[in-house]
Amino acid sequence: MDYDRSEMPEGYDAGRGYSPDVLAMWLNVIAQCAPPGLTNILDLGCGTGRYCGPLAEHFGALVAAFDPSEKMLRQARAKRPGAVSYARACGEYLPLRNASVDMVFMSMIFHHLKEPHRALAECHRVLRAGGVACLRAGTTDRMENYAFVPFFEASRPILKRTLPSESRVISAFQDAGFKLKHRQLVNSAMASNWREYAEKIAQRADSILAQLSESDFVEGLRKLRRHSETAPDERVSEPVDFFCFRRT
């Protein structure tokens, strides 16, 4: 998806932002896989910079944040985190020296890669020996558990043709010279309740929902808001696949 041809970057944080406790949880998940002596991180597909500053602060590391969208980078730079440098770049051509980073972090970008095998080969190239690649991903294995799916029926075929399967992710990394080190299914809170979740979805900041027709989106949002009026006052969570691969 070309984010620079959309208005999605401006509403991305409102639609996909984290509460501080959810961000802290994810940093702890990532920390389980961090290699010793971690000093340099590549945040590949950094988007609006949700992770750049927190990664730099949590690990005391320098972060190179790359994204192909100038609009996304504009939002990220506005956060002004320390120890982060930004560049417009895609995964298939990384402007970094060989063996120059200790960790590559990727959040929800695998399905956006035009040439995943080339991008993962680039990740292998820029990682030092013993370095790791950490990936948060949506997969077809979990699609029926995504909270929006029952309300947006037309999202199912889009999810099937867009998202990879868990096995495809693993095989792609292995083909690029990585070994699976850790795999975990993380239940991640999307909103504190269904009303908040409906308002986040209304931002249309999800690349899957952005592909729906206007009528399908409006009808799905109507169903979701109706549900939110009577739903229990509880967190809305979704399963996220987390992978850590070691460079071999």
Per-residue pLDDT of the chain (248 residues; tens, 9 = 90+): 677 677 777 888 788 888 999 999 999 999 999 999 999 999 999 999 999 999 999 999 999 999 999 999 999 999 888 899 999 999 999 999 999 999 999 999 999 999 999 999 999 999 999 999 999 999 999 999 999 999 999 999 999 999 999 999 999 999 999 999 999 999 999 999 999 999 999 999 999 999 999 999 999 999 999 999 999 999 999 999 999 999 99
Give the separation between CA 184 and CA 33, rounded to whole angstroms. 11
Q: Is residue 7 part of a domain?
A: yes
- The domain that holds 97 is classified in CATH as 3.40.50.150
Q: Is residue 25 part of a domain?
A: yes
Which positions ≥6 away from 28 have C-beta within 8 Å?
Answer: none
Count of domains for the chain? 1
At residue 5, the pLDDT reads 73
Q: Is residue 149 part of a domain?
A: no
Half-sphere exposure (CA, 13 Å, Cβ side) for 5?
4
The pTM score is 0.95
How many CB atoms neighbour CB 49 within 10 A? Answer: 26
At residue 118, the pLDDT reads 98
At residue 3, the pLDDT reads 78
At residue 76, the pLDDT reads 94
- The domain in which residue 55 lies consists of 3-141+164-192+237-247
Q: Is residue 204 part of a domain?
A: no
Q: Is residue 129 part of a domain?
A: yes
At residue 2, the pLDDT reads 78
Give the separation between CA 171 and CA 160, rounded to whole angstroms. 18
- Residues 176 and 117 sit within 8 Å (Cβ to Cβ): yes
Q: Is 149 helix (H, G, I), strand (E, B) or coil?
A: coil
Positive or negative torsion for Cα 91, 92, 94, 100:
positive
Give the separation between CA 170 and CA 35, rounded to whole angstroms. 20
Phi, psi for residue 170 in degrees, rounded to 5: -65, -45
Q: Is residue 84 part of a domain?
A: yes
At residue 83, the pLDDT reads 95
Name the DSSP class of 7: S
The residues pairing with 241 across neighbouring beta strands, listed in sequence order, are 137, 185
Give the separation between CA 154 and CA 53, rounded to whole angstroms. 36
Positive or negative torsion for Cα 174, 177, 181, 184:
negative
Q: Is residue 174 part of a domain?
A: yes
Q: Is residue 135 part of a domain?
A: yes
